[in-house]
């Protein structure tokens, strides 16, 4: 148990899912990309081994007491396995510099075996991270794995601007690519669920900032529903997040069958609560950049108070979270402030008196 709490995250999540009292609100700053900083490592050092990746997550928990450990299959895992070339920066997330698929008509030339554990060393590394975390911390803290959804997986194989153009001019082949990625992700999710991780299903390229609702309904939601069903058939739990402004598709996202819905800071918590709060628990949505990275501790405190005040009474429950993943520029003191504010304003029973001035 973390020194500042009266329940473990596992106990807290169990109580949340069964509608029982907790010591405080569940609080999940998304400490994925930045975790090496808490462990005294560069991002390059952190991602170099399962041991380092797990140690970085454990270091975050030991300092902050956050309610979820996060391993990374990542947003580019499918593309990398299929041959997309990645950069290797010292202290930031690798980016795609060359794509596995140049011609969309060549989808059938992609090798699905490349996505298997036998062939994909990075997959093995991330799965080993989950196994270490579950073995060392799983009795105390839930473990999740951040993995891409089908549309983002496709964009890791085939250049985004070409993919978007194909959504208008070459729909048949684009559907074939997304089908390929969906089938590949089933294999990936299966291994992580068997190892004890919940799926943190992230599909940022499906954002309303990038595509229309019509495109989402055509190219994203059908495959996402299929993947959600696969996760549940395997006994897994899934939280669904799309970055950016998803105001126009929040209700559609819930129709995917997700267990929890995470929203970006671009989306209104109040609107989300009113629209879908009776269907699923909601996570969000402290601004990761303007507040957590660029703000100070007072800004963080105020943002956490505002979020809890807006959504604490959501019918199916509310989990305080950052609006997106946090990079290594985030001051660790701001994450201390995030958790301190969660303990202050989210102390049970949560009521307006907790944040009244």
Q: What pTM was computed for the model?
A: 0.96
**Contact between residue 79 and residue 120 where contact means Cβ atoms under 8 Å apart:** no
pLDDT digits (tens, 9 = 90+) for 23-67: 999 999 999 999 999 999 999 999 999 999 999 999 999 999 999
Nearest residue to 66 via CA among 330, 355, 350:
330
Q: Residue 344 to residues 297, 319, 348: CA-CA distances in angstroms?
A: 14, 15, 9
Q: Which pLDDT tens digits describe the chain residue by residue (357 residues)?
A: 999 999 999 999 999 999 999 999 999 999 999 999 999 999 999 999 999 999 999 999 999 999 999 999 999 999 999 999 999 999 999 999 999 999 999 999 999 999 999 999 999 999 999 999 999 999 999 999 999 999 999 999 999 999 999 999 999 999 999 999 999 999 999 999 999 999 999 999 999 999 999 999 999 999 999 999 999 999 999 999 999 999 999 999 999 999 999 999 999 999 999 999 999 999 999 999 999 999 999 999 999 999 999 999 999 999 999 999 999 999 999 999 999 999 999 999 999 999 876
DSSP secondary structure string for all residues of 61-103: HHHH--S-EEEEEESSHHHHHHT-EE---SSS---EEE-S-S-
* Residue 23, both tokens: 């010591």
Average pLDDT for the chain:
97
Of residues 184, 74, 189, 177, the one with CA closest to residue 119: 184
Q: Which long-range contacts (C-beta less than 8 Å, at least 24 apart) are formed by 342-346?
A: 342/24, 342/25, 342/27, 342/304, 342/308, 343/4, 343/5, 343/24, 345/25, 345/304, 345/305, 345/308, 345/309, 346/24, 346/25, 346/27, 346/308, 346/312, 346/320
SS3 30: coil
The CATH classification number of 68-258 equals 3.20.20.210
pLDDT for position 275? 98
Work out the number of other CB atoms within 10 angstroms of the CB of residue 138: 18
Q: CA-CA distance, 3 to 138, in Å (whole number)?
A: 17
The predicted structure's pLDDT at residue 313: 96
Q: What is the pLDDT of residues 107-127, one digit of tens each?
A: 999 999 999 999 999 999 999
């Amino acid at each position: 148990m973390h020194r500042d709490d009266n329940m473990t995250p596992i106990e807290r999540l169990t109580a949340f899912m069964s509608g029982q009292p907790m010591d405080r609100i569940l609080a999940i700053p998304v400490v994925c990309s930045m975790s090496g900083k808490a462990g005294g490592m560069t991002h390059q050092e952190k991602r170099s081994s399962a041991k380092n990746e797990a140690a970085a997550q454990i270091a975050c928990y030991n300092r902050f007491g956050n309610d979820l450990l996060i391993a990374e299959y990542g947003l580019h895992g499918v593309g990398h396995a299929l041959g997309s070339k990645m950069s290797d920066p010292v202290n930031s997330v690798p980016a795609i510099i060359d794509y596995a698929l140049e011609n969309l008509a060549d989808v059938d030339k992609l090798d699905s075996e490349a996505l298997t554990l036998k062939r994909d060393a990075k997959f093995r590394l991330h799965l080993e991270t989950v196994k270490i975390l579950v073995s060392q911390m799983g009795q105390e803290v839930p473990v999740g794995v951040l993995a891409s959804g089908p549309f983002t997986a496709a964009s890791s194989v085939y250049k985004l601007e070409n993919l978007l153009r194909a959504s208008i001019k070459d729909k048949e082949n684009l559907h074939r690519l997304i089908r390929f990625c969906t089938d590949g992700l089933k294999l990936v999710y299966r291994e992580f669920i068997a190892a004890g991780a919940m799926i943190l299903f992230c599909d940022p390229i499906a954002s309303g900032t990038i595509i229309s609702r019509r495109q989402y309904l055509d190219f994203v939601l059908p495959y996402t529903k299929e993947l959600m069903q696969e996760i549940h058939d395997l006994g897994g739990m899934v939280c669904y997040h799309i970055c950016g402004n998803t105001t126009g598709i929040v209700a559609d996202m819930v129709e995917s069958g997700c267990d929890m819905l995470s929203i970006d800071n671009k989306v209104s918590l109040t609107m989300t609560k009113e629209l879908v709060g009776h269907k699923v628990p909601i996570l969000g949505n402290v601004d990761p950049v303007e507040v957590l990275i660029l703000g100070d501790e007072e800004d963080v405190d105020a943002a956490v108070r505002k979020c809890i005040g807006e959504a604490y009474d959501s019918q199916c429950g509310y989990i305080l979270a950052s609006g997106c993943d946090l990079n290594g520029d985030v001051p660790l003191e701001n994450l201390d402030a995030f958790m301190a504010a969660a303990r202050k304003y989210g102390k049970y029973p949560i009521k307006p008196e907790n944040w009244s001035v």
